[in-house]
Amino acid sequence: MDKPLIKKLELLNNLKIDSKPLWGKMTAQHMVEHLVGAFEMSFDKLKLNCFNPPEKLPVLKKFLMSNRPLPKDFINPVIGPDLQPLRFPNLQNAVWELTNCVNKYYEHFNDNPDALTTNPTFGELNKKEWDVFHEKHITHHFTQFGLEDK
Q: Which CATH number characterizes residue 139's domain? A: 1.20.120
Q: Is residue 98 part of a domain?
A: yes
Please check whether residue 125 lies inside any domain of the structure.
Answer: yes
Note whether residue 100 is domain-resident. yes
Percent of the chain with pLDDT over 70: 99
Contact 113, 127 (CB under 8 A): yes
Q: 139 in a domain, yes or no? A: yes
Q: Give residue-wise pLDDT tens across range 79-113.
A: 888 899 999 999 999 999 999 999 999 999 999 99
Q: State pLDDT tens for residues 1-48.
A: 689 999 999 999 999 999 999 999 999 999 999 999 999 999 999 999
Q: What is the pTM of this model?
A: 0.95
The pLDDT, as a whole number, for residue 1 is: 67
Crossing angle (nearest 10°) for helices 127-144 and 91-111: 160
pLDDT digit string, tens, across residues 61-81: 999 999 999 999 787 777 888
> Is residue 149 in some structural domain?
no
Structural domain contains residue 80: no
State the pLDDT at residue 77: 77
Please measure the distance between the N-terminal and C-terminal CA atoms of the chain and give it in whole angstroms: 27
Determine contact, residues 101/39, Cβ cutoff 8 Å.
yes
> Which stretch of DSSP H or E encloses residue 124?
strand 123-125
Residue 39, domain member (yes or no): yes
Full residue range of the structural domain in which residue 126 is found: 4-11+24-70+89-144
Q: At CA 123, angle to CA 107 and CA 75, rounded to 5?
A: 105
Sequence-ordered alpha helix ranges (H) in the chain: 4-8, 28-42, 57-64, 91-111, 127-144
- What is the predicted pLDDT for the residue at 21? 98
pLDDT at 140 exceeding the cut of 70: yes
pLDDT at 150: 61
Domain count along the chain? 1
Supply the pLDDT for residue 27.
98
Share of the chain above pLDDT 90, in %: 89
Please state, in angstroms and rounded to a whole number, the distance separating the CA atoms of residues 53 and 19: 37
Distances (CA, A) of 68 to 101, 108, 124, 133: 26, 27, 20, 11
**104: helix, coil or strand?**
helix
